[in-house]
């Protein structure tokens, strides 16, 4: 299951996952407008589209409760960057700050909370491995690599990485491995056209990282190439 799967990195993760034969629950907040995702879903039975706005807990709760599939990987990818400047950036206004924190931090928290039963889904009774949790963070949230641009986004990603670390500890006794990932600087609406890598390269690297994630590496923060990112 991938959140924010209608464009950018999430869409490419979806495309490459189904190309490998995996079933994907592709989440997006407005399925009727997700034209690229819908076109992809028309080509294969492996994609199910699920309407999900990660900020809205009151909707997510019943959506997750009515969902009956077992998840072997939950990718919290949905994210926003509104306000690319610092203290004087007029875009850093309360509505945008709230949106950024609710999407990038609250959204991860609520998605993990309400879809946790689907990661577990009978694994304890059967004695097999439950699903894993991958959180798409950013090296911009690394306090070792601080900068003065997009400072609310940076703070939100620092919190997303921190959340991944906390969840790795909270979920350890349920055998759920949790990783935080920097996808690279990627050519998407968020990353811009001058970004260093394509969504295809980012997604290919990330899918390898997710496959490698285990209880031994739970709590990891690394980039799409597997390089450790300092906190």
Ligand X SMILES: NC(=O)c1ccc[n+]([C@@H]2O[C@H](COP(=O)([O-])OP(=O)(O)OC[C@H]3O[C@@H](n4cnc5c(N)ncnc54)[C@H](OP(=O)(O)O)[C@@H]3O)[C@@H](O)[C@H]2O)c1
Cα(112)–Cα(118) distance, integer angstroms: 10
Size of site (CB under 6 A) for ligand X: 30
* Residue 8 near ligand X by CB under 6 A: yes
9 makes contact with ligand X (CB under 6 A): yes
Give the Cα separation of 152 and 109 in Å (integer): 18
Smallest distance from ligand X to CB 92, Å:
16
Is the separation of the CB atoms in 161 and 206 below 8 Å? no
Is 54 a binding residue for ligand X by CB under 6 A? The answer is yes
Q: Where are the alpha helices (DSSP H) in the chain?
A: 8-19, 35-42, 57-65, 94-101, 107-120, 123-126, 151-170, 199-212
Q: What φ, ψ does residue 67 adopt, rounded to 5°?
A: -95, 130
Question: Given the complex with ligand X, which of 12 and 131 has the nearer CB atom?
Answer: 12
User: Do 153 and 81 meet the contact criterion of CB atoms below 8 Å apart?
Assistant: yes
Stretch that binds ligand X, among 13-21, 169-177, 185-193, 214-222 (CB under 6 A): 185-193
- Separation between Cα atoms, residue 159 and residue 56, nearest integer Å: 19
Closer Cβ to ligand X, 138 or 218, answer by number: 138
Q: Under rule CB under 6 A, which residues in 122-181 are in contact with ligand X?
A: 136, 138
Q: Which residues pair with 178 in a beta bridge?
A: 133
Which of 17, 111, 188, 218 binds ligand X (CB under 6 A)? It is: 188
The reply on whether position 205 binds ligand X by CB under 6 A is: no
The answer to the question of residue 29 lying near ligand X (CB under 6 A) is yes
Question: How far is 116 from 132, CA to CA, in rounded Å?
Answer: 10
Whole-angstrom Cα distance, residue 198 to residue 50? 25
Q: Does 10 bind ligand X (CB under 6 A)?
A: yes
152 in helix, strand or coil? helix
**Under the criterion CB under 6 A, does residue 118 sit at the interface with ligand X?**
no
Tokens (6 digits) for 195 = 């970004």
Q: Please report how the helices 94-101 and 151-170 are oriented relative to each other, as an axis angle in degrees rounded to 10.
A: 30
From the list 1-9, 42-50, 88-96, 118-126, the region that binds ligand X by CB under 6 A is 1-9
**Site track 88-117 with ligand X (rule: CB under 6 A), x = hit:** ---------------x---x----------
Residue among 1, 53, 64, 106 that touches ligand X (CB under 6 A): 53
Interaction site with ligand X (CB under 6 A): 3-4, 6-10, 28-30, 53-55, 77-80, 103, 107, 136, 138, 182-183, 185-186, 188-191, 195
């Amino acid at each position: 299951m991938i959140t924010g799967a209608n464009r950018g990195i999430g869409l490419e993760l979806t495309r490459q996952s189904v190309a490998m034969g995996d079933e994907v629950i592709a989440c997006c907040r407005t399925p009727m407008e997700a034209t690229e995702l819908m076109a992809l879903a028309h080509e294969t039975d492996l994609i199910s589209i699920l309407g999900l706005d990660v900020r809205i807990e009151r909707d997510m709760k019943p959506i997750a409760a009515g969902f009956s599939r077992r998840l072997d990987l939950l990718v919290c990818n949905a994210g926003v960057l509104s306000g690319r400047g610092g203290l004087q950036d007029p875009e850093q206004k309360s509505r945008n700050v709230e949106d950024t924190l609710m999407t990038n931090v609250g959204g991860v928290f609520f998605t993990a909370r309400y879809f946790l039963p689907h990661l577990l889904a009978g694994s304890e009774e059967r004695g097999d491995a439950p699903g894993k949790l991958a959180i798409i963070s950013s090296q911009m949230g690394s306090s070792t690599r601080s900068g003065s641009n997009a400072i609310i986004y940076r703070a939100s990603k620092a919190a997303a990485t921190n959340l991944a670390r906390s969840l790795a500890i909270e979920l350890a006794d349920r055998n759920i491995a949790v990783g935080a990932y920097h996808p690279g600087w990627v050519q998407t609406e968020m990353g811009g056209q001058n970004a260093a890598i394509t969504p295809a390269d980012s997604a290919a690297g990330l899918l390898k990282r997710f496959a490698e994630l285990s209880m031994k590496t739970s709590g990891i923060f690394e980039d799409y190439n597997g390089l450790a990112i300092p906190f």
